[in-house]
Amino acid sequence: MSQKKAMLIDLTLCVGCNACQSACKEENRLPPGEEKYLSLTAYTALDKYNDLYVRRMCQHCDVPTCVSVCPVGALSKTEAGPVAYDAEKCIGCRYCLQACPFHVPKYEWSSTKPRIQKCKFCASRLAKGLQPACAEACPTGATQFGDREELLVEAARRINAEPAKFVHRIYGKDDVGGTSMFYLSPVPFEQLGFDSRMGKTPMPMLTMSALSKVPNVLSVGGVLLGGVWWITNRRAKVQAFEASQKKDPTRPPEDKP
Amino acid sequence: MKIPGLPRITGWHPIATTLILAGAMAAFARFNYGLGATTNLSDEFPWGLWIGFDFLGIGLAASGFTIVAAVNLFHAKEYEPIVRPAILTAFIGYLLVVLVLIIDLGRPDHFWHPLVMWNPHSVMCEISWCLMLYTTVLSLEFAPIVLEKLNIVSPIKWIHAISLPLMIFGVLLSTLHQSSFGSLYLIVPNRLHALWYTPLLPVLFFISCIASGISMVILESLIFARGGRDLLPTPLRANLAKIIAVALAVYVVVRVQDLLTRGALRELTALTYYSLAFYAELLIGFVIPFAMLLMERVRTSRRGLYAATLLVVVGFAFNRMNTAITGLEHYPAQTYFPSLIEVFITLGITAVGFSAFSLIVKHLPIFEPMVAGPRPRKEVVTGRPEPIFISREGGDLESR
């Protein structure tokens, strides 16, 4: 388990049989059914664009936005790849819902002890050396599980082998700093509901530009304010002393501050 | 504060009581039935009115750190009479914001987790810590007022001894989290509308909180003045107004310059929901009051100043609500309007704030001059840091 795991989703191979979603629901003990959008009962969903089916699920980013924003560290990126969630830590601030660039986490709004729900990348199965339920269930190989680096090589090989079949891009290779879910598509990703404006920089870098200044503000600001106080206080002292000198010129000059 | 004769019958008490009761019932519903049944929040819109209220409360409570810094660090001692009211405003503001935050949390029972579980990469974590620490600082700055009333002297001495580092720490914490509320949105460049999203969000939040904080101080002093308690002479208020004008001018320049460099000005060419919200915010809260405050006539007239600072506060509210709500409505396309329960809880808590303020003003020495009556020596009792430093320095003078 030293290698980071990932999945390659080849949209040209997907026939929309929904086996991935069914297997996911069975694995996670969710009510069965076909859902088009992610929800509390669909950790993966199957959306349709003309004759193309697009699987959605948590992308398990390499530098996850949700992990960076969580104030209590309830979300964490595990070594094997999955982004894990610990409901015992969660305070319910919902910053992850706000920040996730893929709109993945869903919240148990109707509960009085709500948690977030999302794809777990079958972390418990991975730990046992199994592949995720969805990948295992896929009859056409549209969802393929493997080592991250190997899958990237495989994805590039497929594009090179049939350059006319694919748009020349592996979605997830370096979007928002890279994810664990790679998509190959025959049509531009923007047409399939993928947000392509996000760039290659991990989102948490945006916050770090501000947060990294915190120690500086504290140290420089502390010295500066202390200095300001010292100067203004001293000035007031001197003024008060000079005023008293004028009133009482008999005061000995060695008292001068 | 006792007036001989019968008390005046005012509409305030029944209104406040109604609001607080309605708020309490709404809060009861929220805790019993959960957020989903009682709010209009959703997966697409996980933060709403309450976060906006937090922004607002914290921004207006900026009066605390700005005035403390001006008087005790920058030595503008002539503003001393307004320090205690400003600290009280800030203290109440922060307590209410913490209360709203806890109500807003999905797991209020886990509210203490940030104390022991840290994530230094999270702006939210930094904000929780700043809020906790600064509320502690404020309670220490406020404590002497209570202790003075109870005539307990020894802790006041102790607080005095640490008052300078305490104040500096308080100002730094405020600087940090006032701007960090803006940093919260740095991570949603794909969600927040271009008219509000900018890497400069923390800077803009900080500049605008100075304008709104000082506006609150002026508003308060004007309201007290109407009640016959003029804490600040007109020239001093006019000077504060000048600082607001400077902050507003800096804000507008930075904001427009930023829109220009990011190419977001084109969003303003058409009249849309968003551009209208932007114009409303910038004109009401920044441009118009700036123009007003440029006039000596406005700065020295109570009515003029009242109008100008009220505009600043209203525009500030617009700005924060636009950042927290309007700007987020465009992607994924959606609308959000708070539910009645959200509104009632917010109004109820606001009413608690106003009631607490008027109660405390009635019963604690908020307006007392520094030395009054039979209280012990000034250095020990006032709760003001300055006398003890004078005496310490004075000692130096004599020993030389």
Which domain CATH number covers B191? 1.20.1630.10
**Total domains in the fold of chain B:** 1
* Closest to A24 in 3D by CA, of A179, A178, A131: A131
A114–B contact, CB cutoff 8 A: yes
- Cβ-Cβ contacts under 8 Å, B113 against chain A: 72, 89, 91
* pLDDT of B283 above 90: yes
Can you give the pLDDT at residue B229? 79
- Which tens digit of pLDDT belongs to each residue from B97-121? 999 999 999 999 999 999 999 898 9
Q: Flag whether B381 is in a domain.
A: no
B333 within a domain of the structure (yes/no)? yes
Q: Write out chain A residues lying below 8 Å of B169, CB-based.
A: 222
B interface mutation test: which of A63, A67, A72 has the most B CBs within 10 A? A72
Interface check for A91 against chain B (CB to CB < 8 A): the answer is yes
For the residues B76-103, what does the mean pLDDT come to? 91
Cα Rg for chain B, rounded, in angstroms? 22
B23 within domain boundaries: no
Where is average pLDDT lowest: A117-131, A238-252, B44-58, B167-181? A238-252
pLDDT band of B11, cuts 50, 70, 90: confident
Residue A251's pLDDT is 60
Task: Let me know if domain A5-204 sits in CATH 3.30.70.20.
Answer: yes
B385, B72 in Cβ contact below 8 A? yes
Lowest mean pLDDT among B78-87, B151-160, B256-265, B292-301: B151-160
Q: In the block, which residue shows the tokens 């992850």?
A: A96
In which band, very low, low, confident or very high, does the pLDDT at B389 lie, cut at 50, 70 and 90?
very low
**Which residue ranges of chain A lie beneath pLDDT 50?**
1, 256
B54 confidence band (pLDDT: 50, 70, 90): very high
Which chain A residue lies closest to B121 (C-alpha atoms)?
A68
Is residue B388, in this structure, part of any structural domain at all? no
Query: Does B303 reach chain A within 8 Å, measured CB to CB?
Result: no
Cβ atoms of B167 and B68 closer than 8 Å: yes
Structure tokens at A120: 């777990």
Establish, for the pair of chains A and B, how many residue pairs have beta carbons separated by less than 8 Å.
178
Q: Are strands A116-117 and A181-184 parallel, antiparallel or unpaired?
A: unpaired
Q: Quick check: is B5 in a domain?
A: no
pLDDT at B74 over 50: yes
Residues of A in contact with B125 (CB under 8 A): 71-72
Q: How confident is the model over B149-153, as a mean pLDDT?
A: 85
Q: How close B188 gets to chain A, by Cα (Å)?
A: 6
Residues 178-207 of A with CB under 8 A from B: 195, 197-198, 203-204, 206-207
Let me know if residue B18 belongs to a domain.
no
Confidence at residue B9, expressed as pLDDT on a 0 to 100 scale: 65
* A32 backbone dihedrals φ, ψ, rounded to 5°: -70, 165
pLDDT at B107 (0 to 100) = 93
Long-range contacts of A195-201 (CB under 8 A, 24+ apart): A195/A101, A195/A102, A195/B190, A197/B190, A198/A101, A198/B190, A199/A175, A200/A174, A200/A175, A200/A176, A201/A176, A201/A177
Residue B387 maps to a domain: no
Q: Identify the pLDDT of residue B375.
A: 42
Please tell me the distance in Å from B246's CA to the nearest CA on chain A.
20
Residue B216 has pLDDT above 50, yes or no: yes
* pLDDT exceeds cutoff 80 at B400: no
- Spatial separation of the C-alpha atoms in residues B103 and A142, rounded to whole Å: 45
Using one digit for the tens of pLDDT, what is the confidence trace for B12-40? 888 999 999 999 999 999 999 999 999 99
The pLDDT of residue A50 is: 87
ipTM, 2 dp: 0.87
Domain boundaries, chain A: 5-204, 213-255
For B:170-199, CB contacts with A below 8 A are 171-172, 175-176, 179-180, 183-184, 186-191, 199
Interval B122-132 mean pLDDT:
92
Whether the predicted pLDDT of B388 surpasses 80: no
- Note whether residue B33 is domain-resident: no
Query: What's chain B's average pLDDT?
Result: 86
pLDDT at position A254, please? 53
Residue B341 has pLDDT above 50, yes or no: yes
Q: What is the largest CA-CA distance in chain A?
A: 104
Q: Which domain holds residue B103?
A: 45-368
Confidence of residue B369 (pLDDT cuts 50, 70, 90): low
